[in-house]
């Protein structure tokens, strides 16, 4: 089994140029003729380029006559944390298997393909027969020998936001040995690709902006926003521990921006935005702590948990399958399930969906590993599942991928939605389910987000997903014009309707009064060129139902009794958000209940 230390640095933004970079900067391609007939390559060092998420990835490939000896990434602009696993693993696998037909890294497909394309280009310069290098490598079968035995005070299933929060918390509360089992090739889960908004009543930041708020208001909006289907004691625990969660993260070095905003569906301006892009700040913070305490906290990647081990009615460990065979991890104190939701599992979505039209062909914002493994394991040991039909959709999916990337909105107050006719159709500050249901009623379930220079003062201003507006426009994922009429032509909507929609919105910005849709959240008018538009469609985002827990994070059985030694945290749990999760409450969930589960798994005997 590869040591975890090889993976820990993957998610640190400070190490974006990892060991592949070296001092190779501006080497010129070696000028060569075709290789000798008996050789596979003309020995030398060659460079190549391939397209990544945020521009070209440049590689340097070294070959001798018969093999690829090294692949180095010499330049890239990929998002820290999200693409790091691909940047490390793809070059390693190409050298290991002597093939360019290697598997891409789940969750970093574009970066993976960009690296492969760059290596292919470099190898072409060496005179290689590319068709020979496109043969799928024969990989070793999973070892069938004796199981790998592990022992820890706390065993955690899942290395996303909740799982890593729990790992740090368990260590801070006295656990001497913590083991995290993560089935994906990288940690981060949905947290690392999220918009990263974190709701908390924050007297200092909100007061500076003239925002009145209270924990009680956050509680009421969360509880009533979920149609009062959340368990009041869990909702109370969430909101009361939200700001202490920020203080905890900041104590470990995480930084948030000074101003709060209103993320989509948050209902109030209390959303905090990290300084680091997407959700990388959370994962980076946890991983820096874990790296400093690597002797106590171990992470096993590519290790899929399959079963919770029970003895005398108590959870005492986990069985898993890793790249080197079966793993049996014994837990002295407790087991924590933090496997996320099932948004990426179409079969499970169809099984539990009772609210939406068929979700079979609806894409998702989730990472590929969000397949509901935790629910299956928990239910097999008697855990109660609640609210499984409560599946949250967003009106903010990319039309091609369903992901949140490419979304041009910066906050609720400064943009409107229009349909293909150029007309508004909903309160853009409403609940997520309200907005999505309204979008389904529009032609082709398709809308445009409209905003202006107030949201993007310069072309290099980034959205919440680390993409500049110029980058999005250049790739055809957003549209830009100097007038609304020109913008309407760009996106093929009725110019008169679009102009009227914006004019009516601007009138309400002046009066701050509720409009015909009931909207009350405003800040700036949409009146300053350039104007921008971005297309969006419905997408599966969050599963509110899951494993029932109490305020200690302990898993409950179907009779409401505690299952000793078993805890759960994050999206895999149910009973917190009810029928609708407020935007910005998911990261709070991972932090608050991850901390609670970690602490109690370390201390409750």
Question: What CA–CA distance (Å, rounded) separates 211 from 202?
Answer: 10
Question: What CA–CA distance (Å, rounded) separates 541 from 359?
Answer: 12
DSSP 372: -
Q: Which position among 205, 270, 431, 432 bears the catalytic label?
A: 432
Q: Are 506 and 523 in contact (CB under 8 A)?
A: no
Question: What CA–CA distance (Å, rounded) separates 306 from 483?
Answer: 57
Task: For residue 236, give every residue at least 6 positions away whose Cβ sits within 8 Å of its Cβ, in sequence order, or none.
Answer: 219
DSSP 213: -
- For 439, counting Cβ atoms within 10 Å of its Cβ (0-12 exposed, 13-18 middle, 19+ buried), the class is buried
Q: Read off φ and ψ for residue 599, nearest 5 degrees.
A: -60, -50
Helix (H) or strand (E) holding 593: helix 586-603
Question: What CA–CA distance (Å, rounded) separates 596 from 552?
Answer: 6
Cis status of the peptide bond prior to 142, with omega within 30 of 0: no
Q: Coil, strand, or helix at residue 418?
A: strand
Q: Are 231 and 546 in contact (CB under 8 A)?
A: no
Task: For residue 147, give every residue at least 6 positions away whose Cβ sits within 8 Å of its Cβ, in sequence order, or none.
Answer: 325, 326, 327, 328
Q: Read off φ and ψ for residue 307, nearest 5 degrees.
A: -160, 140
Let me know if 349 is a catalytic residue. no
Of 402, 348, 419, residue with least CA distance to 541: 402
Catalytic machinery residues: 432
């Amino acid at each position: 089994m590869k040591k975890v230390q090889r993976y820990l640095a993957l998610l640190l933004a400070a190490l974006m140029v990892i060991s592949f970079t070296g001092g190779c900067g501006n080497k010129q391609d070696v000028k060569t003729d075709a290789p000798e007939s008996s050789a596979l390559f003309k020995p030398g060092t060659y460079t190549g380029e391939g397209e990544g998420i945020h521009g070209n990835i440049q590689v340097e490939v070294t070959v001798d006559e018969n093999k690829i000896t090294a692949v180095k990434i010499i330049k890239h602009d990929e998002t820290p944390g999200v693409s790091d696993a691909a940047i490390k693993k793809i070059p390693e696998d190409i050298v290991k298997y002597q093939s360019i037909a290697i598997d891409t890294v789940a969750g970093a497909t574009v970066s993976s393909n960009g690296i492969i394309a760059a290596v292919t280009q470099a190898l072409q310069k060496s005179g290689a027969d590319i068709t020979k290098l496109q043969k799928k490598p024969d990989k070793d079968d999973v070892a069938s020998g004796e199981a790998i035995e592990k022992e820890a005070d706390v065993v955690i299933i899942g290395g996303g936001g909740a799982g890593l929060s729990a790992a740090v918390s368990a260590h801070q509360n006295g656990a001497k040995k913590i083991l995290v089992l993560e089935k994906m090739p990288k940690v981060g889960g949905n947290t690392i690709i999220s918009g990263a908004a974190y709701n908390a009543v924050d007297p200092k930041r909100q007061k500076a902006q003239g925002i009145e708020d209270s924990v009680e208001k956050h509680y009421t909006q969360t509880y009533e926003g979920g149609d009062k289907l959340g368990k009041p004691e869990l909702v109370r625990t969430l909101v009361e521990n939200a700001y202490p969660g920020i203080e905890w993260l900041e104590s470990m070095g995480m930084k948030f921006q000074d101003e709060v905003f209103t993320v989509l569906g948050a209902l109030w301006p209390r959303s905090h935005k990290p300084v680091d892009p997407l959700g990388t700040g959370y994962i980076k913070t946890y991983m820096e702590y874990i790296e400093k305490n690597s002797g106590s906290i171990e992470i096993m990647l590519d290790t899929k948990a399959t079963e919770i081990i029970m003895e005398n009615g108590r959870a005492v460990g986990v069985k898993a399958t890793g790249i080197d065979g079966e793993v049996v991890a014994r837990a002295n104190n407790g087991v924590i399930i933090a496997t996320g939701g099932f948004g990426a599992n179409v079969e499970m979505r169809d099984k539990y969906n009772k609210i939406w039209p068929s979700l079979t062909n609806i894409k998702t914002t989730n990472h590929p590993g969000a397949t509901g493994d935790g629910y299956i394991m928990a239910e097999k040991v008697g855990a109660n599942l609640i609210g499984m039909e409560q599946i949250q959709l967003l009106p903010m999916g990319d039309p091609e991928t369903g992901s949140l990337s490419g979304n041009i909105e910066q906050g609720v107050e400064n943009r409107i939605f229009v349909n293909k006719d150029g007309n508004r159709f909903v309160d853009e500050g409403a609940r997520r389910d309200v907005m999505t249901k309204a979008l389904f009623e529009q032609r082709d379930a398709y809308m445009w987000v409209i905003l202006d220079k107030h949201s993007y003062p310069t072309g290099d201003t980034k959205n919440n997903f680390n993409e500049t507006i110029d980058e999005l426009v250049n790739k055809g994922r957003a549209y830009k014009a100097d007038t609304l009429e020109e913008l309407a032509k760009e996106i093929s909507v009725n110019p008169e309707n679009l102009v009227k929609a914006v004019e009516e919105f601007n009138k309400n910005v002046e009066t701050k009064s509720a409009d015909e849709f009931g909207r009350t959240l405003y800040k700036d008018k949409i009146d300053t060129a350039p104007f921008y538009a971005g297309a969006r469609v419905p997408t599966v985002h969050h599963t509110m139902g899951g494993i029932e827990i109490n305020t200690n994070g302990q898993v409950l059985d179907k009779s409401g009794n505690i299952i000793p030694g078993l805890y759960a945290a994050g999206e895999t749990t149910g009973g917190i958000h009810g029928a609708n999760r407020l935007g910005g409450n998911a990261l709070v969930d991972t932090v608050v209940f991850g901390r609670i589960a970690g602490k109690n798994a370390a201390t409750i005997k």
